[in-house]
Amino acid sequence: MSSNQVTPSRLARDAFPAYQAASGWNALLPARMPHTRAPVARSFDVIVIGAGFTGLAAARRVAELRPNATVLVIDATTVGDSSAGRNSGFLINLPHNTGMGGHGSPLEVARKQIQLYDTGLKWLHELVTMHGIDCGWNPVGKYHAAATPDGEQRLRDTLAQYREWGVTYRELSRDALQSEIGTGYYRYGYHSDSSVFVQPAAFVRGLADSLPDSVRLWENEPVVSLDGNGPFTVTTATTQLSAAQVIVANNGFARKLGLARDRVFTIYTYAAMTPALPAGELAKLGSAPEWGVIPANRLGTTLRKTLGGRFVVRSAYSYEKERPMAEVGTMLTDAYRRRYPQMASHKFEYVWGGVTALTRNGALYFGEVRKGLFASIGCNGAGVLKGSMFGKLLGEMACGQQSPELSDALGFERPTWLPPEPIRRVAIVSAIQYQKHRAGRER
């Protein structure tokens, strides 16, 4: 084992996120018995590190293509309460990064990404239907809304891209937004059909519980080191395993295993959910039973009215460390009250944080790192659909499959270099503070 690898003694401090509060999405679901029994076997054809959307998709695809292969998925936490079950539940099938990376124009890259995400969306819907996954799949699209002149200009610039890409949308005035989502807070917005809503914890739990029989899931077992060049040695908190191939899909925490240390960093973001609201209060949030709003600024506030009659508010970022939940609750309550002062109460039932991995230029760290070692990390806050599709492609790559989609994915821009600490921290925290200031009322 090399000297720069993580050892079990450092496990609790930095090998995986230790959240202060449970995910509100997962708390709404029946209790689930995690798969915590250690496997009898110590050698596998493929080990997947991370049971989020990316890792589950990769494991599923390997099992589909190589049904006789032994596949083990290991996760440091419990499926549903992990990072994958803490997001806002938007499946967005539009580009998140159209950098060229030397492979075509931005328009060509955008069209390839749209086709890729459409393919992924169809695949996920097939899985939901085939396995009866009760996750509230709802393809009603999403709103984008701006509260400031700068935010409005950002949205108008985005619509210029939409026209180029051939994406349809409806522009909305302040009055139209107030009619549809119940608030006059925003000055301008638009609605597009490019989104599906899910209950994220129910979705990831359903995907995990419907894995092919040849896939073994092992939860609450952190991987603390990765060594070798095929076969690989995977050391967990309690044992040592070997595998001919390893797929790393634990997002920013792949850095603890020696991958992408100068390309990826982690950010915590925060959400809160109300109790189920009475009919009269729900009516104040617009007539549609479910909708969601994406802010004009990345550090703005995301909103979602759920099919279950609750309201979710998500906002803010912090670098590498979770903020105190009391502070988070106060901040999210303020965002809710400013947008909907007419509500009888602004109390939340659940407040929680979640970690995601970002890269400097928004590109994904994807591909074969070295022979037999594959990785897809740095989802940049779009892990549900993007993570699933790239996980599927990573599984195909591990099986030696070729496809136009995989060729396109390998041609996308790669993450750019990040400076070492402490320069990295200073730069990222400064950028967050600047964006907070620029966001203004979008927060």
DSSP string, 310-371: -EEEEEEEEESSPPPHHHHHHHHHHHHHHH-TTSS----SEEEEEEEEEETTS--EEEEEET
HSE-CB at 144 with a 13 A cutoff on CA atoms is 22
* 3-state SS, residue 396: helix
Residue 275 CA to residue 194 CA, distance in Å, equals 28
Element (H, E) at 8: none
Element (H, E) at 339: helix 325-339
Q: What is the pLDDT of residues 339-388, one digit of tens each?
A: 999 999 999 999 999 999 999 999 999 999 999 999 999 988 888 999 99
> What pLDDT does 78 receive?
96
Q: How many CB atoms lie within 10 A of CB 253?
A: 25
How buried is residue 288: exposed, middle or buried, by Cβ count under 10 Å (0-12/13-18/19+)?
exposed
pLDDT truncated to tens, each residue of the chain (443 aa)? 233 333 344 444 566 788 999 999 999 999 999 999 999 999 999 999 999 999 999 999 999 999 999 999 999 999 999 999 999 999 999 987 666 454 568 899 999 999 999 999 999 999 999 999 999 999 999 999 999 999 999 999 999 999 999 999 999 999 999 999 999 999 999 999 989 999 999 999 999 999 999 999 999 999 999 999 989 999 999 999 999 999 999 999 999 999 999 999 999 999 999 999 999 999 999 989 999 999 999 899 999 999 999 999 999 999 999 999 999 999 999 999 999 999 999 999 999 999 999 999 999 999 999 999 999 999 888 889 999 999 999 999 999 999 999 999 999 999 999 999 999 999 999 999 998 888 999 99
240: left (phi over 0), alpha (psi -120 to 50) or beta: beta
Strand partners, 188: 146, 173
> What pLDDT does 6 receive?
34
CB-CB contact of 39 with 369 (8 Å): no
Phi then psi for 365, rounded to 5 degrees?
-85, 105
Q: How many CB atoms lie within 10 A of CB 334?
A: 15
Which residues lie closer than 8 Å to 32 by C-beta, 6 or more apart?
78, 79, 80, 205
Q: Please, what are the domains in the chain?
A: 139-197+266-360 (3.30.9.10)
pTM, whole model, 2 decimals?
A: 0.95
* 3-state SS, residue 74: strand
Q: Which amino acid is at 121?
A: L
List Cα–Cα distances, 140 to 13, 41, 195, 338, in angstroms.
41, 45, 7, 26
Residue 358 CA to residue 289 CA, distance in Å, equals 32
How buried is residue 422: exposed, middle or buried, by Cβ count under 10 Å (0-12/13-18/19+)?
exposed
